[in-house]
Amino acid sequence: MNARRFFLMTIVFWLLAAGILFVNSWPNARNHIQVTYVRYAYFFVVGLLASGGMMFLYGSDWFARQQRRLLWVTAFSAIAALVTAVLINPITYMMVGRSIHAVPIEIISTGTLYFTLLFMIWSAIYLQLKGESLLHARPVAEDGPRPSPVFQVEKRGEIRQLRADDIVCVRANGDYVDLITAANIYLKKDTMANLESMLDPELFKRIHRSTIVNIRKIERVSPKPGGAFDITLEGGCLVQSSRGYRAVVSTIVPAG
């Protein structure tokens, strides 16, 4: 999923969250309906901004190495929830004529548990769409060269052995993956996450949620508007990176 779709997903998520909280508060908000509209409009905006900050954290190298991801996701969600409460609760209280100096505990606590839960749900969806685990980081590459795995594949009824070094690209294909070489495409029942864990991370880089390339097989990289790249591989295979993996592609552009 590219950055634009992540953004649209986030907008839809916080619109739904604001709507659910609005409906939930309806029995107690009938006398202050305009205040409630304003409260959850601000909640939607703050949710979007906080999610942007959390995207930055989840995309960092530091987070990629964390093994206790659920603990950090919970902590980030709680902090985002506290910030949300501190930003929107004083506005609500002032609009109904209450002094914010008289209710400091309420400003921090009102809605914070709901907000924390919503940020955790958003985080789980976001990481899942990125193809990452909410619980654990990806396996860390061991020191020294990793032996090249060999995959058993089928072509025209024949069982063949395919060395990972011969693969130029791995591409998602429904419940299968395409193992693409310079001369053939082999369909294999597997997942992108499992294939990525088996391949050498120094040679095979994910440049899209559904695409992994062998950097030794790259012949040309052409930038496109918006931060994406067209990547030409050995054998003439052409793939496109997504803007979310721009930093990865920038490290594998051939010199010269």
Whether residue 127 contacts residue 70, with contact meaning beta carbons closer than 8 Å, is answered with no
Mean pLDDT along residues 23-37: 74
Mean pLDDT along residues 55-59: 88
At residue 119 the predicted structure's pLDDT band, cuts being 50, 70 and 90, is very high
% of the chain with per-residue pLDDT over 90: 32
* Calpha distance 167→1 (Å, rounded): 23
* Calpha distance 176→244 (Å, rounded): 23
Give the model's pLDDT for residue 256: 43
Side-chain-side CA neighbours of residue 166 (13 Å): 15
Average pLDDT, the chain: 84
Whether residue 232 contacts residue 218, with contact meaning beta carbons closer than 8 Å, is answered with yes
Q: What is the pTM of this model?
A: 0.53
Whether residue 36 contacts residue 17, with contact meaning beta carbons closer than 8 Å, is answered with no
Domain ranges (residues) in the chain: 3-129, 150-250
pLDDT in tens, 125-145: 988 887 787 887 765 545 555
- Class of the CATH-defined domain 150-250: mainly beta
Give the model's pLDDT for residue 115: 92
Q: Where are the alpha helices (DSSP H) in the chain?
A: 3-29, 33-58, 61-64, 69-95, 104-109, 112-129, 192-198, 246-250
pLDDT in tens, 170-222: 999 998 999 999 989 999 888 998 888 889 988 899 999 999 999 999 988 88
DSSP string for residues in 188-206: ES--HHHHHHHS-TTTEEE
% of the chain with per-residue pLDDT over 70: 88
